[in-house]
Amino acid sequence: MTRPLNDPLPETCGDVRGQAAGALRHRRAGEKACAPCAEAIRQYRREWRRNRQPAESRERYLQLARARNRAFKRLADAHKAEFQRLLLHEQRRELEKAATR
């Protein structure tokens, strides 16, 4: 009998069966998680949602990030030529990195 394509293999999660890590192994293998791994990843996500930062502190983080971006923009305006040179350098590095992947 043939297995449906998306069926989890019991050996995919192996020694981390029933853990979030097992669910990630299933996902990397392109299959759905087995029941114990699926339950583990649900539990992991529940914990993650419960522990993430409250909205107020996220808003504060965003405020500080906006201030930081404005400061970068002012720095770039005050040192246009140097900023252009650094930008081109970093863009070239990024493209080279992508080319060697």
20 vs 22 by CB, closer to Zn ion: 22
Q: How far is the CB of 9 from Zn ion (least distance, A)?
A: 8
DSSP 18: T
Nearest residue to Zn ion, using CB? 13
Q: How far is the CB of 29 from Zn ion (least distance, A)?
A: 10
CB 18 within 8 A of CB 37: yes
CB proximity list for 12: less than 8 A, separation 6 or greater: 22, 25, 26, 29, 31, 34
**Could you say which of 13, 20, 40, 41 contacts Zn ion (CB under 5 A)?**
13
How long is the chain?
Answer: 101
For the beta carbon of residue 11, count every other beta carbon within 10 angstroms: 9
Residues 15-54 that bind Zn ion (CB under 5 A): 17, 22, 34, 37
9 vs 65 by CB, closer to Zn ion: 9
DSSP 19: S
Q: How far is the CB of 77 from Zn ion (least distance, A)?
A: 54
Interacting residues with Zn ion (CB under 5 A): 13, 17, 22, 34, 37
